[in-house]
Structure 1
Amino acid sequence: MTAARSLLLFGLAAFAEIGGAWLIWQGWRENRGLWWIAVGVVALGAYGFVATLQPDANFGRSLAAYGGIFVAGSLAWGIVVDTFRPDRWDIIGAAICLIGVAVIMYAPRAGH
């Protein structure tokens, strides 16, 4: 159950961080206004809190693993929201990152 909880939290964190950054991008770069930026800032703050809920007590490990989730999630966000089409190198790179997440977060460790 811990791995399932961890993966759910990674998904929520990715949605909040990537969504927040996208909202700020839209507000600033696409001239949609300060409300978009403000909502983006709130979403980024929510990401910070969601990250603290990871079952692993090590900040560095959780954040390092989240980096891989961020890479893959950013490409997925681009596909769904911005009609971005990743090439094979994007997909291979994201897969490598997700393998890294699995190793960092879920490999058996002595004493656990």
Structure 2
Amino acid sequence: MTLVKSILLFGVAALLEIGGAWMVWQGIREHRGWLWVGGGAVALGLYGIVATLQPDANFGRILAAYGGVFIAGSLLWAVFLDGFRPDLWDITGALVALVGVGLIMYGPRGA
């Protein structure tokens, strides 16, 4: 159950951080206004809270692993919300990053 919880938390964190950053981008770069920026700031703050809920207690490990989730999640976000078409190298890089997440978070640890 801890593995499932951890993966779900990474998913929620990705939605909050990528969505929050996207909202800030939309508010400023696409001139949608300060409500978008404010909403993005709230989402980014919630991302920080969700990250603390990970079962592992090591901040550095969580943040390093989340980097890989962020890479893959950002590409998926761009596909569905911005019409981005990733190429073979984008997809390969995202898969390599996710393998890194698995190794960092779920690899066997010595006693």
Q: TM-score, normalised by structure 2?
A: 0.99
CA distance, structure 2, for counterparts of residue 108 and residue 3 of structure 1: 13
Matches within 5 A, 1:73-112: 73-111=73-111
- Contiguous gaps of at least 5 residues in structure 1: none
Task: Give deviations 1:41-89, integer Å, cap 9, x for gaps.
Answer: 0000000000000000000001000000000000000001111000110
Distance 1:63 1:54 in 2: 10
**TM-score, normalized by length of structure 1?**
0.98
What is the rounded CA distance, in whole Å, between the counterparts of 1:82 and 1:25 in structure 2? 12
Q: Deviations over 1:4-45 (max 9, x none)?
A: 000000000000000000000000000000000000000000
| 1:19 matched residue in structure 2 | 19
Q: Secondary structure at the residue paired with 1:73? A: helix
Between the aligned partners of 1:3 and 1:100, the Cα distance in structure 2 is 16
**Structure 1 residues 88-110: Cα deviation after superposition (integer angstroms, max 9, x where no partner):** 10000000000000000001112
Q: Which runs of 5+ in 2 are unaligned?
A: none
Percent of aligned pairs with the same amino acid:
65
Q: Match for residue 39 of structure 1?
A: 39
Q: Match of 1:109, as an amino acid?
A: R
Q: What is the distance in 2 between the residues matched to 1:85 and 1:97?
A: 18
What amino acid sits opposite 1:88 in the alignment?
A: L
**Number of residue pairs aligned between Structure 1 and Structure 2:** 111
1:72 matched to 2:101? The reply is no
Aligned counterparts of 2:3 and 2:102: Cα–Cα separation in 1: 10
Distance 2:30 2:64 in 1: 31
Q: Post-superposition, which runs of at least 4 consecutive aligned residues in structure 1 deviate over 4 A?
A: none
